[in-house]
Amino acid sequence: MRPTDRKYSKSHEWVKLDGETALVGITDFAVQALSNGNESDLVHCDLPEAGRVLASGESFGEIESVKAVSDLYAPIAGEVLEINSAIEDHLEIVSRDPWGQGWILRLKPERKSLDGLMDAAEYEKYLATLAH
């Protein structure tokens, strides 16, 4: 089961409210889809500058692996406060720990509601539909 302290999007990003801010990352499913389970398969990440305002569902960057390039989408609307600079040169952090140290950006949410996103159980059911 994925962590229950966050919400999930159909494009495989997660968001976790953290006081007045929200952390955004990609799920283990997204990491596996981009790589073959090898930490070194993720090779490049293009992230937005702090201060950029994102609409919910807007593409804010890309993550590239040796086998594919995938857009990253904002699961909620908000202003980019910070990007995880540690992952820019060390994407293996995302492969190893997509739920913790592998977060991608911190937002100041437009609002605190996470309506329209799935909880962990709903995300698990959604993933099961993709397997068929």
Largest CA distance in the chain: 40
Residue 40: per-residue pLDDT = 83
Residue 132: per-residue pLDDT = 62
d(CA 53, CA 64): 23
75 in Cβ contact with 113 (< 8 Å):
no
Choices 3.40.50.10070, 3.40.50.720, 2.40.50.100, 1.10.10.60: CATH for 7-130: 2.40.50.100
pLDDT along the chain (132 residues), means of 10: 95 96 96 84 94 97 92 97 94 95 97 93 96 68
* Cα–Cα–Cα angle for 33, 39, 41, rounded to 5 degrees: 60
Residue 112: per-residue pLDDT = 86
pTM of the shown model:
0.94
108 in Cβ contact with 20 (< 8 Å):
yes
